[in-house]
Amino acid sequence: MTVEAFAPAKINLTLHVTGQRDDGYHLLDSLVVFVDVGDVITVEKADETRLMVTGPMARGVPTDNSNLVVQAANLLGVKAQITLEKNLPSAAGIGGGSSDAAATLRALAALYDMPLPSPQAVMSLGADVPVCMGSGLLRMRGVGEQVDQLGVGADWPMILINPRVAVSTPSVFKALPCKDNSEMPVGLPDWLDWNASATWLASLRNDLESPAISVQPVISDVLGALRISEGCMFARMSGSGATCFGLYNSVRVRDRALSQLRQNHPHWWAAATRQYT
């Protein structure tokens, strides 16, 4: 018996850094959605846990205990043969490793007919893992342990672009000049009104965007290319980068913009996507 689970890319529509604890962990306030491009986890029972990585982004991905997928199996206390089909770039600000870990937990829990661990338990795998256990539109606060479900959000046609550079999250936080910024407002827009919700998102921030650009200036080029592309309503960097996203007013316009972006920047990783629910 094998069980398969999808590990969708996580997009931070907003990311406000609101403080830093005495232990060094940063406090965040972030609006998160998941999209329908991602990695795939397949598991089957085995005498020992082994990880095999395949897919277009497999190169350089560790298969030992440093991989969160293996750590997720260890957390559940089970053994499995795990295959990770890696389709997302690594160190890209879209929660790839955390989403892989969450998908592994879901798959192994189904395989062994056991309950999923608590959010507090999965925090040991990383601050993004609790939110990656959810779906739809989510608000993530604290160091990642506070996750609130906010409905389904808006199903914008979207483009993701990564310029194929890895970004060190600690380096980005180190470059952040102010670590005590304002939280997001309480009220949310009408997600069915795409123009109003795009305007609302534009009034908020990703506090890590400017620091990430200082670490990898090509991120500014990606944002510029998205913002001038046909039909782009809004563009921002996700997480600590370097992946950026653009929201579009129709699938047809998005696909035309993607074709032009790929023609202009053939070495960038680019994907057309929509919200995954």
Q: List the structure tokens of 29.
A: 């306030």
pLDDT tens-digit profile of 52-73?
Answer: 999 999 999 999 999 999 999 9
pLDDT tens-digit profile of 135-181?
Answer: 999 999 999 999 999 988 889 999 999 999 999 999 999 999 999 99
Whole-number pLDDT of residue 195: 92
Q: List the structure tokens of 102.
A: 């969450």
Task: Let me know the angle formed at the C-alpha of 61 by 161 and 245, rounded to the nearest 5 degrees.
Answer: 15
- Read off the pTM: 0.96
- In angstroms, rounded to a whole number, what is the distance separating the alpha carbons of residues 251 and 240? 27
Averaged pLDDT, 243-265: 98
The set of catalytic residues is: 10, 128
Whole-number pLDDT of residue 151: 86
Q: Which domains does the chain have, with CATH numbers?
A: 2-149 (3.30.230.10), 158-273 (3.30.70.890)
- In angstroms, rounded to a whole number, what is the distance separating the alpha carbons of residues 46 and 134? 28
Residues in the chain: 277
Is residue 116 pLDDT above 90, yes or no? yes
